[in-house]
Each structure stands twice: as C-alpha cells, then as structure tokens.
Amino acid sequence: MLKDKTALVTGSTSGIGLGIAHGLAAQGANVILHGFGDPAAMDRLKDEFAERYGVRVRYDGADMRWPEAIEAMMAGALAEFGCIDLLINNAGVQHVAPVDEFPVEQWDAILAINLTAVFHTTRLALPAMKSRGFGRIVNIASAHALVASPYKSAYVAAKHGVAGLTKSVALEVAEAGITVNAVAPGYVRTPLIDAQIPDTAKARGISVEAVVRDVLLAVQPTKKFVTVEQVAALTCFLCSDDAASITGAVLPVDGGWTAH
C-alpha cells in the first residue's frame, strides 16, 4: 500500500497516465494530476479522485516544453505535500514524418516534452526524496526506447534518451533508498496512438486500417494492443516496497515486440 505517499503523474488527464494515477490512488497515494484540460473538467476529475479514493488531489496544467513551468509545478507540489515520493514521468507527444521533412518545431517539442522534462522533474524531486531516504521514479518510455521505427526520428531519439537517463540516475541514487526505472510499453490504444495513425497512413501511403493491421500490431507477436491497466499495474508494482531491488531497468510491456 502507498498510503501517505504522494505521487506526481505527468500527462495524467487521459490515457496511460490517467490509468496510472487511478492505480496509485487506489493504493492510498495522494495524487498530483497533470495535463491540459478544461478547468471545469479538471475540477470534476479532482473531485472524482478525492471521493473515490479518499486521497488528497492537486492539479497542475504546466506546459512541459518550458523549464520555468515545470519548476513552478514542482514548487507548488512540494509546498503542499512536502515531498513527491512517487514521480511518474509519462507526458509525451508524437509526430510522424520522414526525417528530411520533419518540422523543426515538432522535433524541438518532442525532445523537450518527452526527454528534457524528465530531467527537470527528476532533478527537482530528488532533494526531498534524498532527505527522506525514499523515492520511486518511473519513466514511461516506449518500446521505441529499445528499437526504432521509420518516420519517428524525434520520438525514438527521445525515448532512447529516457532509457539512458533512467540508468544513469539509478546508479547515482542507488544508495539513497531511491529506485529509478522505465516502463517500455508497446502499442497501447490511447489518444496519442489514435492521433498518429492518420499521419502514419499518409507517410506510408496506406490506409488507416492497414496501419493498425500491418504496422502497429504486426510488430507485436500477441497481435493485441497492450492495455492501459497492464502498464499501470507494472508501474504501481515498481512503486512498492517489493520492488526495492529493481532499479536501472527498462522493462518492456510490449506483447513480445522487442523479443524479435
């Protein structure tokens, strides 16, 4: 159980991040929700968590492209809760295009949100974790942290970077009661995946149906999408005391994709 622990889950207003936030709150953790959303909808989401799980809930809409926004989010969370015990770096964006046609602004945004933001949240969460002698950092990477696909140069570069950052930080804090791991999901049917299917179809010159059948699920031997609940379950386990000896790992949840 994670009672009296506080979790920050970036990108947690939908998809994988929302599933992880539900999983942690169900185990008693206070939750800091993060992401873009209508203010009224975010108030309803906060109320839902508080009423359903009996935990304290905070929301922040920081734009993860900007270090000053991340610093403000972290400062507010630390002021309210004293420590972020469980840091789940999940926020991410994607763009699909050939590298010689890849928009520079998309490259910059993907690297900033998917990789550089992980550095900023980590560096700002660690002092309080060290002072308490406990911390769990779980970076939601991707199977693309381990293998590549065409037309996803920025995303693959960022996720490979997340894998390297995970390992490096894990070694630095190994004696401080802090673990740092990455979860590497295969294709999960989330809004992020749905948004890239038309772009992939355009880049490859094939139909949307063919993208799902011949591109996405073709690489997963199970021929099934990974579920949000499966990713959340592993993430919650990595936050537990039972996972205290797992650190510096990049753990696939990918239907066998990276076993090829």
Integer Cα distance of 90 and 107 in angstroms = 18
Q: Which helix or strand (DSSP H or E) is residue 198 part of? A: helix 191-204
The CATH number of the domain holding residue 98 is 3.40.50.720
Mean pLDDT of 58-80: 98
At residue 10, does pLDDT exceed 90? yes
What pLDDT score was predicted for residue 101? 97
What pLDDT score was predicted for residue 196? 80
* Residue 148: inside a domain: yes
pLDDT band at 200 (very low <50, low <70, confident <90, very high): confident
Is 155 catalytic? The answer is yes
At residue 187, does pLDDT exceed 90? yes
* Residue 193: inside a domain: no
Mean pLDDT of 167-194: 94
Burial of 104 (0-12, 13-18, 19+ CB in 10 A): exposed
Give the residue from 87, 176, 187 showing the smallest Cα distance to 137. 87
At residue 192, does pLDDT exceed 80? no
* Residue 218: inside a domain: no
* Residue 172: inside a domain: yes
Mean pLDDT of 135-142: 98
* Residue 207: inside a domain: no
Q: What is the pLDDT of residues 210-245, one digit of tens each?
A: 999 998 899 999 999 999 999 999 999 999 999 999
pTM: 0.94
The single residue of 53, 59, 151, 155 carrying the catalytic annotation is: 155
Average pLDDT, the chain: 96
* Residue 214: inside a domain: no
* Residue 109: inside a domain: yes
Q: Does residue 252 contact residue 143 with C-beta atoms inside 8 Å?
A: yes
At residue 188, does pLDDT exceed 80? yes
User: 140 lies in which domain range?
Assistant: 6-186+227-259
pLDDT band at 194 (very low <50, low <70, confident <90, very high): confident
Please give the tally of structural domains in the chain: 1
